[in-house]
Structure 1
Amino acid sequence: MTLDDLTARLRGGVPLAQLLQIEAIALDPLTIRMPAAALALRPGGTTSGPAMMALADVAMWAALLIANEGQDLSRTTQLAIQFLRAAAPGPVIAEPRILKPGRTLIYGEVWIRGEGDDRPAAHVTTQWAVTPLPTR
């Protein structure tokens, strides 16, 4: 799967992904960048929680697509986010990791931080239900 393939698949499946940039195609680490945008800010000028949650969800799906060579119909069943500090109004980076790929459930985590800041702004744990690919 190429970077262009992944970008097209993400944007086709989740229109909100139009706001995101995939920085690398390798899984370790995969980085997804959300550029600075007024749409992603909350009062006070920091990145909003809903924006970070969307970023985390799309980032984990990107990791699953890469791991499964573009063939993944898994669905989010759980997403828990711990906000650790405010993410500045600039670009925000997500680094997803698949912790346990299973036959029916997949567990992962996503670390989110402001660009240029090594300190995490949020930690996300997520669970996905494996949806079988259609047979022909």
Structure 2
Amino acid sequence: MDVKMDREALSAFLARDFGQVAADFAVERVDAGGVTLRLRVAERHLRPGGTVSGPALFGLADVAIYLAILSRLGPVALAVTTNASIDFMRKPAAGRDVRAEARLLKLGRVLAVGDALLYSEGVAEPVARAGMTYSLPPG
């Protein structure tokens, strides 16, 4: 399936429809293989000790997989997460940006299933792995 929304289109969609969090993210790559999304880590994303919090990592994974879906379907704002699982595998580097490499495993009429590996800037091994399922709006 072809890409229907490129990096610029996804960035504009985030700014327009999710303006409250759009500044936290940078869409870095969009192609048939998926999406790379960067979390611009700020003080509000940190937990005591300076590492990126679990909720911030979860949010990055959710947005990245959501954008991977939109990249293939177009701007369907009503796609919603119906199932989510995340494994935190190692502590992210203190205060460094985190990127998600998201891909779709299944894109059907009613459900989309994707996964994401999250990497702390400067660290080769992933810090987390997430799998999510989304319900797609009819039509």
TM-score, normalised on structure 1? 0.89
* Aligned CA-pair RMSD: 1.6
User: 2-side partners of 1:56 and 1:116: how far apart?
Assistant: 18
Q: 2:52 aligns with which of 35, 47, 68?
A: 47
Aligned residues: 133
Query: Unaligned regions of 5+ residues in structure 2, if any?
Result: none
Amino acid aligned to 2:52: T
> Aligned partners of 1:87, 1:43: CA distance in 2, in Å?
13
Could you report, residue by residue, the CA deviation over 1:44-91 in whole angstroms, capped at 9, with x for unpaired residues? 111000101111111111101111133453111111111001111201
Is the contact between residue 38 and residue 97 of structure 2 (CA under 8 Å) also seen in structure 1? yes
CA contact (8 A) 2:69 2:112 kept: no
> Are the aligned partners of 1:64 and 1:72 in contact in 2 as well (CA < 8 Å)?
no
Q: Which blocks of at least 5 consecutive residues in structure 1 are unaligned?
A: none
User: C-alpha offsets along residues 69-117 of structure 1, whole Å, 9 cap, x if unaligned?
Assistant: 3345311111111100111120100011110112211111111010122
Q: Percent identity?
A: 36
Matched, 1:4 2:8: yes
What is the TM-score of this pair, normalised by structure 2?
0.87
1:36, distance to aligned residue in structure 2 (A): 2.6
Greater share of residues in strand: 2
Aligned with residue 113 of structure 1, among 114, 119, 122: 119
1:10-89 equivalence runs, <5 A:
10-14=14-18, 15-71=20-76, 73-88=78-93, 89=95
